[in-house]
């Protein structure tokens, strides 16, 4: 084995993709999150994606049980998980099989593999290990077998609970992370643990660092990303929590649901410092009902959920529309339908968010594209909810929720907060729904405000909140609620185009796909392809000017993580074909023939796959020009 640190070869690179993969419960995600935070503090751009099995406790040493994390770090702002991994640390060989099947690795990917299975008491496991490692090498993977667990035993009797920090130390050596920064990362990760636990993990970190020095003859240098702004490192759910506090929201009510739950865990630790309250309800309907009551009473309220929970909340969302109660609803999308893929990413809830409530229930729907926007859009959603007296749904997804990104530290602004409630006596001439005939906007009386008392109802009502079943009262109420969205759309700007305003192909995305789309577009444009992209953040109302933008391109195609039929699939014709949800929405609103490219693999989109689709479409344009 290699034993001299001085002669290790250092390779200078702009970026690398690292994975730590293990059985569930071995701490790979914590090690990767800490490594990402350490790398960000040393100036690298960072994006992480958790690898989470669908089962709580899947079988050990199984391809479907792979649990871990991907960390992409570089000398620039990182916006997505990238393509194939460059270096992988694996605690057994079987968990890698599922990752290989998903296209996560390629020939040349370096595998640092726990070698204890070669001498396992079970002959079946030994044979399985040898056969699998041989298969990896035949595929072109570069496998280094390392006795990592044996080295951990020098410090702990239970290496299964400590080798994640040992591996963190190895990565700190391989990527030349500063030890003081790494130790500070350990202190932060185990801040609530005893001094004994922190000391053990620091020892494991140092041992892993020394092990890599002795056993591996290479390391990497990734220069820092040049930037002046102070940075912050969070995942999307933490960013949601920070946005809740920064926006002046006073109460969050939710029922635990994957992958949204960690937002409530984060808020439960810190929200009280901002004067806020976290309420865990007995179910999803109770959670939104509690939030509606809080908002009706004059406080700013939010509820956080995922797709199945959003479905259960729909009747109450309809009540918020009808009664014009401001409310922020954050929905962290996951794979569906039904229980579906609770730990996997999908963008399947767009049409549900738009049209799920009974009747004509117009509401504002936003989608965050980055972890930074998870923070920013809570502030936007709170402002819109109170300005327009309406529910606002903010869509994120599992990719954003659990991923970690470094981004500029927000500087608090006074206008982020709710304006103070006017407690002066209510003008008796002003009704509870004194709709402006042009915009549909109205003043908001608060219970207890002298002269502002009224009976709230979910029934059709007059401007005085009196139940009314006559045709014109219902017609007028629908008109006023709809005009709010028209008024909001009139204040929006057209979306920015990434690339040229005219060309052969325009890719349109929403949500967490932005980084992968723009990276693929940049790669294709560098090769001369006439392709651009734009990303839509306001989904209801849509941003203006879309039809005019689409008219500048020969072909418009959405890129989405939801299902669409392949055009050449059995029984599928242009009329019968199911298309992506954003494609459907844009067709309806712009009367443009919009195609789509979608995947529902339960994984974030890779820029390389989008790039290949761009090249396929570009080749068709080239063939047409030759003819």
Which pLDDT value is given to residue 252? 98
pLDDT at 526 over 50: yes
Which pLDDT value is given to residue 2? 42
Confidence of residue 525 (pLDDT cuts 50, 70, 90): very high
Token output for 397:
């997804």
Distance CA 291, CA 328 (A): 9
Which pLDDT value is given to residue 159? 86
Average pLDDT, the chain: 95
Which pLDDT value is given to residue 507? 99
pLDDT at 555 over 80: yes
Where in the chain are the domains?
A: 9-221, 232-416, 497-626
Lowest mean pLDDT among 451-460, 512-521, 530-539: 451-460
Distance CA 74, CA 16 (A): 6
Query: Strands 503-510 and 497-498: what pairing?
Result: unpaired
Which pLDDT value is given to residue 578? 97
Distance CA 304, CA 344 (A): 18
pLDDT at 5 over 60: no
pLDDT at 4 over 50: no
SS3 letters for 405-439? Answer: EEEECCCCCHHHCCCCCCCCCCCCCCCCCCCCCCC
pTM over 0.75: yes
Phi, psi of 287 (to 5 degrees): -65, -50
Which pLDDT value is given to residue 46? 96
Which pLDDT value is given to residue 6? 58
Phi, psi of 91 (to 5 degrees): -85, -15
Q: 232-416 and 497-626 share one CATH topology?
A: yes
- Going by the DSSP 8-state scheme, the letter that residue 160 receives in this structure is G
Confidence of residue 1 (pLDDT cuts 50, 70, 90): very low
**Helix/strand/coil for 551:** coil
Greatest distance between any 2 Cα atoms in the chain: 88
For range 553-578, the mean pLDDT: 97
Which pLDDT value is given to residue 627? 65
pLDDT at 331 over 80: yes
Choosing among 3.30.110.40, 3.20.20.450, 3.60.40.10, 3.40.50.970, the CATH entry for 232-416 is 3.40.50.970
Lowest mean pLDDT among 133-142, 370-379, 427-436, 548-557: 427-436
Question: pLDDT digit string (tens) for 36-64?
Answer: 999 999 999 999 999 998 787 889 999 98
Lowest mean pLDDT among 305-319, 405-419, 526-540: 405-419
Confidence of residue 8 (pLDDT cuts 50, 70, 90): confident
397 or 185: which leads in pLDDT: 397
Question: pLDDT digit string (tens) for 333-364?
Answer: 999 999 999 999 999 999 999 999 999 999 99
Query: Strands 503-510 and 594-598: what pairing?
Result: unpaired
Lowest mean pLDDT among 1-15, 145-159, 560-574: 1-15
193 or 73: which leads in pLDDT: 73
pLDDT at 10 over 70: yes
CA neighbours within 13 Å on the CB side: how many for 246?
21
Question: pLDDT digit string (tens) for 253-284?
Answer: 999 999 999 999 999 999 999 999 999 999 99
Contact 480, 440 (CB under 8 A): yes
Which pLDDT value is given to residue 452? 86
For domain 497-626, give the CATH number: 3.40.50.920
Q: How far is Cα of residue 553 from the mean position of the Cα atoms in its chain?
A: 29
For domain 9-221, give the CATH number: 3.40.920.10
For range 496-503, the mean pLDDT: 98
Report how far apart the first and last C-alpha atoms of the chain are (Å, whole number). 61
**Helix/strand/coil for 506:** strand
Distance CA 459, CA 467 (A): 6
Which pLDDT value is given to residue 98? 87
| Alpha-carbon distance values, 263 to 133, 332, 348 (Å) | 40, 10, 21
Query: Strands 67-74 and 45-51: what pairing?
Result: antiparallel
Nearest to 301 by CA among 282, 316, 322: 316
**Helix/strand/coil for 340:** coil
Nearest to 329 by CA among 271, 232, 257: 257
Which pLDDT value is given to residue 420? 82
pLDDT at 3 over 50: no
């Amino acid at each position: 084995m290699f034993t001299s640190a001085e002669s290790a070869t250092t390779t200078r690179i702009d970026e690398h993709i690292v994975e730590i993969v293990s059985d569930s419960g071995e701490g790979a995600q914590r090690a990767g999150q800490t490594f990402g935070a350490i790398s960000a503090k040393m100036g690298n751009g960072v994006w992480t994606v958790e690898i989470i099995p669908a089962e709580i406790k899947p079988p050990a040493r199984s391809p479907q049980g792979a649990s871990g994390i991907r960390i992409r770090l570089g000398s620039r702002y990182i916006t997505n998980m990238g393509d194939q991994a460059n270096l992988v640390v694996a605690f057994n060989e079987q968990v890698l099989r599922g990752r290989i099947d998903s296209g996560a690795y390629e020939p040349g990917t370096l595998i640092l593999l726990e070698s204890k299975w070669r001498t396992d008491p079970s002959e079946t496991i030994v044979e399985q290990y040898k056969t699998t490692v041989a298969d990896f090498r035949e595929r072109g993977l570069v496998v280094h077998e390392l006795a990592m667990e044996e080295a951990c035993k020098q410090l702990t009797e239970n290496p299964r609970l400590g080798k994640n920090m040992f591996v963190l130390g190895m990565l700190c050596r391989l990527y030349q992370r500063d030890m003081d920064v790494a130790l500070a990362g350990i202190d932060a990760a185990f801040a609530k643990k005893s001094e004994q636990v922190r000391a053990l993990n620091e020892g494991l970190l140092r041992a892993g660092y020394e092990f890599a020095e002795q056993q591996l003859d290479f390391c990497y240098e990734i220069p820092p990303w040049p930037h002046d702004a102070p940075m912050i490192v969070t995942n999307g759910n933490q960013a949601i929590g920070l946005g809740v506090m920064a926006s002046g929201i006073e109460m969050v009510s939710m029922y635990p649901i994957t992958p949204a739950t960690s937002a409530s865990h984060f808020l439960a630790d810190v929200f009280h410092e901002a004067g806020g309250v976290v309420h865990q309800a007995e179910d999803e309907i109770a959670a939104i009902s509690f939030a509606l009551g809080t908002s009706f009473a004059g406080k700013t309220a939010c509820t956080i959920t995922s797709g199945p929970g959003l479905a259960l909340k729909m009747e109450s969302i309809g009540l918020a529309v009808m009664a014009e109660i401001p409310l922020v609803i954050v929905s962290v999308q996951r794979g569906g339908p039904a229980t579906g893929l609770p730990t996997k990413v999908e963008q399947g809830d767009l049409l549900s968010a738009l049209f799920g409530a009974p009747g004509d229930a117009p509401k504002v729907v936003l989608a965050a594209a980055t972890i930074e926007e998870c923070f920013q859009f809570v502030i936007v959603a709170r402002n819109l909810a109170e300005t327009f007296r309406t529910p606002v749904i903010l869509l994120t997804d599992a990719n954003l929720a659990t991923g970690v990104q470094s981004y500029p530290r927000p500087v608090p602004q006074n206008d982020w907060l709710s304006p103070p409630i006017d407690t002066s006596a209510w003008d008796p001439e002003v009704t509870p729904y004194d709709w402006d005939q042009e915009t549909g906007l109205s003043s908001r009386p608060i219970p207890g405000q002298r002269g502002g008392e009224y009976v709230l109802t979910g029934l059709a009502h007059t401007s005085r909140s009196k139940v009314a079943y006559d045709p014109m009262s219902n017609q007028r109420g629908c008109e006023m609620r709809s005009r709010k969205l028209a008024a909001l759309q009139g204040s929006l700007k057209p979306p920015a185009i990434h690339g040229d305003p005219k060309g052969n192909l325009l890719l349109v995305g929403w949500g967490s796909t932005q980084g992968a789309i723009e990276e693929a577009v940049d790669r294709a444009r560098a090769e001369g392809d006439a392709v651009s992209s734009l990303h839509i953040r306001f989904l209801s109302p849509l941003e203006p000017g879309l039809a005019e933008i689409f008219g500048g391109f020969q072909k418009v195609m959405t890129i989405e993580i939801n299902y669409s039929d392949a055009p050449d699939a059995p029984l599928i014709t242009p009329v019968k074909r199911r298309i992506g949800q954003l494609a459907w929405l844009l067709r309806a609103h712009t009367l443009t023939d919009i195609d789509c490219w979608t995947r529902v693999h339960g994984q974030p989109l890779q820029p390389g796959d989008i790039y290949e689709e761009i090249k396929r479409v570009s080749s068709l344009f080239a063939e047409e020009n030759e003819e």
